[in-house]
Amino acid sequence: MIIPHKTQCYSDSQDPPEESIPLCTLRHFPNQIEHCIEWARDQFNTLFCDRAQDTIAYLADSKKFIAQLKQNTTTSGAKSQLEEIERVINLAAENSFERCLQVARDFFDHLFDHDIRDLLSLFPADHKDKNGNPFWSGPKRAPHEIVFNADNELHLSYVSSCANLIAFNLGVPQERDLNVVRELAKKYEGKPYTAKQIKVETPEEAKAREASGQPAPQQQEAPGMNDEEDIKNLVEKLQKLTISIKANVQAAEFEKDDDSNFHIAFITAASNLRASIYTITTADFHKTKLIAGKIIPAIATTTAMITGAVTTEIYKFVQGFEKLEQFKNGFINLAVNIFAFTEPDEVKRNKSKDYDPIMMGPIKAIPEGYTIYDKVVIQKGRSLTL
């Protein structure tokens, strides 16, 4: 799979010059909800993880980051990445949820409206291939753009989850009231659509070109005559910014099990918007969590058996049973139909010793007789070291 240019994060991205972009199923011709969810999962990583990690790495050691950047990418790529870091830091300095929402709205327009218009300008709904056959046929579904509507619950869910994730990245207070988010979204008009000039190569055209022995089309980059000078100026600007601004940037590491962190909410909204564009059946929150989180369902028989055994012990606990021998450990093997229950051992208690053979010296237990289930709370703030 060939991945085209990535969406710029936290940026008022300008339209690139004419460029050659190979097309692939996941990014341009999805036909299953799984394609849309995988695309949305990649968007999550790009927008809320990768860019934040770059900024964190820069703030930690700018000289090392720039040296590695120049070594691992082109001058044009280094310039673009440093510009992105500058935007992240500036946005953090604004410390405004409303500004985060505006960026989220720009993402919506870019991904679900402007990009789709660009694709349809290349391949209209009635477009035919070189053999005269309809281009949009078979697994290729003709898309249609979506215009943002703050009163549409799916549209609002996307910009709300997206804005809150940006706010998390930047240490900005989040806004969970959808009515407040809706009113803020209605106030922002968004950026007008500007058509791009793009050359593309479909998979079929690539096969035909390879069969004829022709070379691959060269990717055209933006003119980089002054990239080195631009990088130098950017580094100077960033140095001044990092001195005057303390950016509190953190990456959003994907976590599927916390429904309040907007991770699955964003992926659900983004994938369902993508599915709507391509007339694909959408998925609800739980199905999206299963697919995006790569959750493998447990065997129902085993789950029911374990749940029943555990719940039986919970009944004893809530009824006030205190004697250890009244509780049971279970050893069960459904394959050979073995059910064995035993009395549990007492928990090990750590005690002081005059000599411990492992530590080769005396050991003092504080407090005496503590177990792995005990904890000590030290209320002295977070700056203590051990």
Active site residues: 24
Residue closest to 194 by CA, chosen among 85, 279, 106 = 106
User: Using H for helix, E for strand and C for coil, what is the string for the chain?
Assistant: CCCCCCCCCCCCCCCCCCEEEECCHHHHCCCCHHHHHHHHHHHHHHHHHHHHHHHHHHHHCHHHHHHHHHHHCCHHHHHHHHHHHHHHHHHHHHCCHHHHHHHHHHHHHHHHHHHHHHHHHHCCCCCECCCCCECCCCCCCCCCCCCCCCCCHHHHHHHHHHHHHHHHHHCCCCCCCHHHHHHHHHHCCCCCCCCCCEEEECHHHHHHHHHCCCCCCCCCCCCCCCHHHHHHHHHHHHHHHHHHCCCCCCCCCCCCCCCCCCHHHHHHHHHHHHHHHCCCCCCCHHHHHHHHCCCCCCCHHHHHHHHHHHHHHHHHHHCCCCCHHHCCEEEEECCCCEEEEECCCCCCCECCEEEECCCCEEECCCCCCECCCCCCCCCCCCCCCC
Residue closest to 173 by CA, chosen among 267, 243, 101 = 101
Give 353's strand partners: 363
- Spatial separation of the C-alpha atoms in residues 90 and 321, rounded to whole Å: 60
